[in-house]
Structure 1
Amino acid sequence: MRSLKFLNKQAARIYITLFTGLAITAISCDRDLLDKKPLDSLTDDAVFSDANFLQSYVYNVYNGMKPIWLPGTGGFEPLTDVAVSQPETHDRSAGIRQYLEGNLSADNITDLTNVWNDEYGYIRKANVFFENIENSAIDATVLDPMKGEMHFLRAWMYFELTKTFGGVPIITSSFKLDDENFDVPRNTYDECTKFIMDECDLAADLLKTTSPTPGKISKAAAMALKARVLLYMASPLNNPSNDVAKWQAAEVATKAVIDLNYTLHPTHDDLFTRPLKSDEIILGKSHTAGTRIPDWGFNYDYWPSGFDARQRIMPTQTFVNMFQMTNGQYPYMPDGVTVNPASGYDPQDPHKNRDPRFYSDIIYPGAGPFTINDGAKSTLRTYEYWEDANPNPDNAAPYVNPNKVDPKNGQELYDFGRDSKTYWVKGKTPFHWRVQTGYTFRRLLDFTGPRASFDHDYNQAITFLRIAEFYLNYAEIQIALGNEAVAREYINKVRKRPSVNMPDITSSGTDLVREYRNERAIELHLEDHRFFDLMRWKAAPSNIDIPIRGLTSVKMDWSSAQPGDLLGKMTFNYGVIEAAEVRKPWAGDFYYLLPIPREEIKRSHDAISQNPGY
């Protein structure tokens, strides 16, 4: 949708795009039926009178659930303390730099507010659905679950709009071609959230008899979305008076989700791979070669050597420091610079004895070896982000890895890079030094396939709703209600995942709040939570407007390496990354909501009011 007016004047004929990306194992399409008539010539009657075509229409509207990688292919994460982006390679990222520089406006926001255009486009499709099935002859046992899915989807799309802009126009009907009045004002935030929760209730009731199927909307998903909305309603941004009743409503809804039959998946490494882990994931999505993210997928954009010099986003040192030591201590004091003497952390051996999730989620100098499927050079490789301690352009002895040849296949152990910086300068490995902080994300990568292929069927999966989030949501609610022991219990549930098994937290007061928010950042990163968490907590200052820190240099000395050593001696230096973006001081509280694109206000003849401050 380019605008409400544009969408509402679309022709009535419906064109269907099959939603092929869902990981739905229990549903098949009747190919003979679908092949009888071209999909692009279907009339309204053909679509809405046939259960198979109608289900395909519903699956198309699943695409209205904003993917976690938008905007761009790094999502909102680069607007936080967790990640930094390469703006010139972060597709659809217009507005990110402006936000961080404090000069975002209704005229330059562009990509950051594609959510307005995209969600209203799919909302219209949902409205068309409800109008056309009002007198449907399709059996209720078949039709009701589709209605439930569509009520959920309309609720989801309005939630995306409200968490981004606050109150928005509630549109529940599609305008006809001869309608001229498209000037619909904004509803209040409270009106919008009531509408969303009512939609969730309708969805839960209509889906109550359907069996959960991986990738498909269920009663549990409707309950979970309602609980999340209630948490947002109770949060400081939307609850300035700290109305306890709002926290209590969130408590009841969240506990209802917890009491369903979901548990933490025992292992963390494979949580974001298909098939969807239905023990933990309430609603998720896996991908085929034709439905994954733009270009070549997560491998292309997050690959540790910045394939094609397109490294999208990188973890910051601030985020890396959030991962505790295995003894439960933070490596650094809260200032992020002073080493915590109780931790046992050694800045020159920084990756030793860290929270096991660190190794699942972060790729750091010397990480691996990983099994890399990369054509002729397939081999075990470590992630090399360093320069020679005594560099020379040819990497000649004695400053060369004595074990650089893989004895299994005779291939050289490089291309994550030998001596990254030297080879960058020489032009032999021109990708590594786009990784400004020295770290890359490991979550969502697939090392079982090639780094980038349009044809390979990668195994990544993304989650929209999973039970770990609701354990953490419940902990936050209990902190707000003054029940710290219960809050610690639910935070520790997440930390006690069998493959993680971190020590229990025992803190209270402001320290408990810090530990909770730290735990949430680690557990839910790259899942489209951190930015909106900071917004609803009104916690942007000192979390968004910060210098980007990372590894300013890493040097490797091979001179004392022995046969069998994968690494020589590394020396690490830390500091502010001068080449990274410069974040300006927090612009002010009006930045907790994004501006509505000015073109939308003009098209409404000023019926839509702008958010304050813009």
Structure 2
Amino acid sequence: MKNRIEKSNLMKTLFSVLLIGSIFFSCNEDLLEVTPLDAISEENVFTDPTFLQNYVYNMYNGIKPHWSPGSGGYIGMTDIAVSAPDTHNRSAGIRQYLEGNSTPDNITQLTNIWAEEYDFIRRANIFFEKIEGSTIDPEVLDGMRGEVHFLRAWMYFELVRTFGGVPLITESFSLSDESFDVSRNSYEECAQFVLDEAELAINLLDGATPAAGKVSKEAAMGLKARMLLYMASPLNNPTNDMSKWQAAAAATKAVIDAGFTLHPTHEELFLQPLETDETIFGRTYTAGSRIPDWGYNYDYWPSGFDARQRLMPTQHFINMFQMENGEYPYLPDGMTVNPSSGYDEQNPNVNRDPRYYSYILYPGAGPVNIIDGSKSTQRLYEYWEDANPNPDNQPPYENPNKIDPINNQTLFDFGRDSKTYWVKGLTPFHWRVQTGYTFKKLLDFQGPRASFDYDYSQTTVFMRLAEFYLNYAEIQIALGNEDLAREYINRVRQRPSVNMPDITSSGDDLIRDYRNERAIELHLEDMRFWDLLRWKAAPGNIDMNPIRGLSSVTMDWSTAEEGDLMGTLHYTYGEVVEADPRFPWPGDYYYRFPIPREEIQRSNNNIQQNPGYED
């Protein structure tokens, strides 16, 4: 009876993964017409190359998108971003983490990655078991084997950087099994398994024809290099073993030498089609393959543009963007204006790093397209209160200069006092721009705010050359080769669309410049949180308190002449009281997540909890 249940569960899984895989990649539009899903046998799935490839494609869904968990990912738990309270289903978990209260009993409120990744690992294990003795063309089969070795390595990499050592499971368990008598492998064993899997993928994919969005030899090389960087980092290398840095250097240099180049324009990197000159591995999403309620246009769309904004840059991140002369706007204390920079707190958005204008929406930025039903228009990013208001902001609300005289387009439709307009409830949503800024990177302003069937232009880039330039710079700093480190940081800064002055610093200043450059270049790419953990740099960053931003922005319309799009803005900087409070860093144990209690119980208590989280 149990065998029949196991086979039934397996076939249900196969039907769902074949359907999702075929929808996701659309490799063969006639596939489902040739053989109805309810007529597919298990034998056909693992002996037919098209069905089997769709089974493999489904496993790509085990790669966590950057906005997971919930929406916004982990960046809202760092110094460079804040999540809007109570705006998505992971808010409780985020709050518990930032309070220092993550436990084995509540960690699934933040992430369920343990169960999710082991589900896909099980599918990978089924693949390897079922293809034994396969009659599929060996060359075709080897390509799929290479993909699955990479995917299984990726899933274990995610688990290892989250929990440390985890059980290494290479055989399938039945869906009907209620317990798994397994124990944890060490961090070193798990990391070596990721390296071994990546090496198998490299060999099996050698010579395969590259295809955008598909695992390649170079992607496997990138994963190997990334794992070695994590192994060499302070969290996992307490004795600072130089041989680990040297291994990371060799693997990273191999990726750099694989033939990729920086794309000339940084804005295009996150738009379709995938810019495969720089992108080593990435994905695009169609209306049929994305999660409608989670994603960039829904969750990052600025509240001032009629949305429930869930993630905002902090003032700390804004201050990371240097002036175009290469100077920081503030001294390291973050409060004192750098006299060498030319920065003006009351004119803060001029002469900044070009990436600032591509990646950040600040009061008065734009205009950009807003496509959202009857409110479709082109307008600035409005976030201000009227410095000369009528009593209680009585009508008329309209900005007298709302029509652009050149294009005859409406640039404002929230009135001259945009913040009060929102707070008074004159729009469907509340004002949720706690810091006064929002992220612009990854938004598709040619599409609507949120649509179930619109094919947005964004891509998700998991690996690109700029990351490996920066990884290599970090490795060279650790090895004491500062000249080489500066060279690779400056390669990123010399992208034609950026063209920032070269970094010339050394010592601690070089480390600051490197980490600053990495935060700017790679934000929203699921890097910052993990970087702070592997550097053991959480104190003062993850637990940054208070969160600062624009506490007040006022617009003096009395200075505006007919046709002016704005008057004079005045900025007040201060603490963002609405942000979730962050408590002091609990201790080194917090660099690993607790293992969910139910998973330990399912192992018959064979899995040992991470130190610091035991009862």
SS in 1 for 2:462: strand
How does 1:549-560 map onto structure 2 within 5 Å? 549-560=548-559
Structure 1 counterpart of 2:317: 319
Three-state SS of the structure 2 residue aligned to 1:167 is coil
- Deviation of 1:373 after TM superposition, in Å, equals 2.6
Rate the CA distance shift 1:293–1:351 in 2: closer, same or farther, 3 A: farther
Equivalenced residue count is: 603
User: C-alpha distance in 2, partners of 1:304/1:432?
Assistant: 12
1:128 aligns with 2:130: no
The aligned residue for residue 77 of structure 1 is 75
Q: Which whole-Å CA distance do the structure 2 matches of 1:283 and 1:351 have between them?
A: 34
Say if 1:349 and 1:202 are closer, same or farther in 2 by CA, change over 3 A. Answer: same
3-state DSSP of counterpart to 1:270: helix
Identity %: 68
Report if aligned partners of 1:301, 1:307 keep a CA contact under 8 Å in 2.
no
* 1:538-565 Cα shifts (integer Å, max 9, x gaps): 0000111111100000000111212332
Whether the aligned pair in 1 keeps the contact of 2:304 and 2:382 (CA below 8 Å) is: no
SS in 2 for 1:559: helix
Deviation at 1:412, TM superposition (A): 3.8
* Contact 1:155 1:200 (8 Å CA) reproduced: yes
Distance 1:367 1:593 in 2: 39
Residue 520 in structure 1 maps to residue 518 in structure 2: yes
Output the amino acid matched with 1:541: P
Distance 1:369 1:595 in 2: 45
Between 599-608 and 87-96, report the one with greater CA deviation.
87-96
Match of 1:19 in 2: 21
Tell me the secondary structure at the aligned position of residue 271 of structure 1: helix
Q: CA deviation at 1:411?
A: 5.7
Counterpart CA distance in 2 for 1:276 and 1:214 is 7
SS of the equivalent of 2:142 reads helix
Aligned residue number for residue 411 of structure 2: 413
Q: What amino acid sits opposite 2:21 in the alignment?
A: F
2:141 corresponds in structure 1 to 143
Moved more, 28-37 or 240-249: 28-37
| Aligned match of 1:481 | 479
What do the CA deviations read for 1:268-309 (whole angstroms, capped 9, x no partner)?
122111100101100101111122244163212111226665
Amino acid of the residue matched to residue 352 of structure 2? R
What SS is found at the alignment partner of 2:552? Answer: strand
Q: Distance between the aligned counterparts of 2:22 and 2:562, measured in 1?
A: 50
Whether the 8 Å CA contact 2:292–2:452 is kept in 1: the answer is no
Matched residues in 2 for 1:416 and 1:363: separation?
A: 17
Distance change (3 Å), C-alpha of 1:214 and 1:571: same
Cα pair distance change 1:409/1:177, threshold 3 Å = closer
Alignment of 1:456-471 (within 5 A): 456-471=454-469
Question: Partners in 1 of 2:318 and 2:556 — Cα distance?
Answer: 24
Q: Which residue of 2 aligns with 1:424?
A: 422
The answer on whether the counterparts of 1:296 and 1:454 sit within 8 Å (CA) in structure 2 is no
CA distance in 1, matches of 2:387, 2:228: 55
Alignment of 1:70-219 (within 5 A): 70-175=68-173, 182-219=180-217
Match of 2:437 in 1: 439
CA distance in 1, matches of 2:175, 2:93: 34
Q: Tell me how far apart the structure 1 counterparts of residues 248 and 199 of structure 2 sit (CA, whole Å).
A: 15
Deviates more, 1:312-321 or 1:289-298: 289-298
CA distance in 2 between counterparts of 1:127 and 1:476 reads: 35
Q: Counterpart of 2:441 in structure 1: which amino acid?
A: R
State whether structure 2 residue 261 is matched by structure 1 residue 263: yes
**Which residue in the other structure is 1:234 paired with?**
232
Q: Distance in 2 between matches of 1:306 and 1:110?
A: 32
SS of the counterpart of 2:20?
Answer: coil
Which deviates the most, 116-125 or 446-455? Answer: 446-455
* Superposition map of 1:353-392 within 5 A: 353-392=351-390
Q: Distance in 1 between matches of 2:486 and 2:240?
A: 21
More divergent stretch after superposition (409-418 vs 216-225): 409-418
Which AA in structure 2 matches 1:311? Q
Aligned to 1:334: 332
Q: What is the aligned partner in structure 2 of residue 56 from structure 1? A: 54
TM-score (norm 2): 0.94
Deviation at 1:431, TM superposition (A): 3.8
Runs of 4+ in 1 over 6 A off after TM superposition: 7-10, 177-181
Q: Distance in 2 between matches of 1:374 and 1:176?
A: 47
1:319 and 1:20 map into 2 onto residues whose CA distance is 41
- Distance change in 2, residues 1:32/1:204 (3 Å): same
Structure 1 residues 476 and 394 mapped into 2: Cα distance closer, same or farther (>3 Å)?
Answer: same
What residue number does 1:4 align with?
Answer: none
SS of equivalent to 2:467: helix
Question: Secondary structure at the residue paired with 1:70?
Answer: coil
Distance 1:178 1:531, change over 3 A: closer
RMSD between aligned residues: 2.1
One of 281, 284, 290 as aligned partner of 1:283: 281
1:371 alignment partner, SS class: strand
State the alpha-carbon separation in 2 of the partners of residues 321 and 407 from structure 1.
35
Residue pair 2:306, 2:427 contacting (<8 A) in 1 also? no
- Aligned partner (choices 506, 521, 534) of residue 508 of structure 1: 506
Kindly tell me: are residues 304 and 254 of structure 1, through their superposed partners in 2, closer, same or farther at Cα, counting changes over 3 Å? same
Partner of 1:572: 571
Give the structure 2 partner of residue 472 of structure 1.
Answer: 470
User: 1:415-439 CA deviation, whole Å, 9 max, x = no partner?
Assistant: 4664222212432235462110000
| Larger CA deviation: 207-216 vs 124-133 | 207-216
CA contact (8 A) 2:231 2:244 kept: yes
Tell me, yes or no, if the aligned pair for 2:594 and 2:609 is still in contact at 8 Å: yes
Does the CA-based 8 Å contact 2:6-2:176 persist in structure 1?
Answer: no
Is 2:607 the partner of 1:605? no
Q: Name the aligned partner's letter for residue 141 of structure 1.
A: E
Per-residue CA deviation, residues 438-457 of structure 1 (Å, 9 max, x unaligned), is: 00000111111122221211
Provide the secondary structure at the position in 2 that maps to 1:493.
helix
Greater mean deviation of Cα atoms: 158-167 or 557-566: 557-566
- Judge conservation of contact 1:94–1:108 (CA < 8 Å) in 2: no
Gap change, CA 1:296 and 1:476, over 3 Å in 2: closer
Structure 1 residue 410 displacement after superposition: 5.9
Say which SS state the counterpart of residue 112 (structure 2) adopts: helix
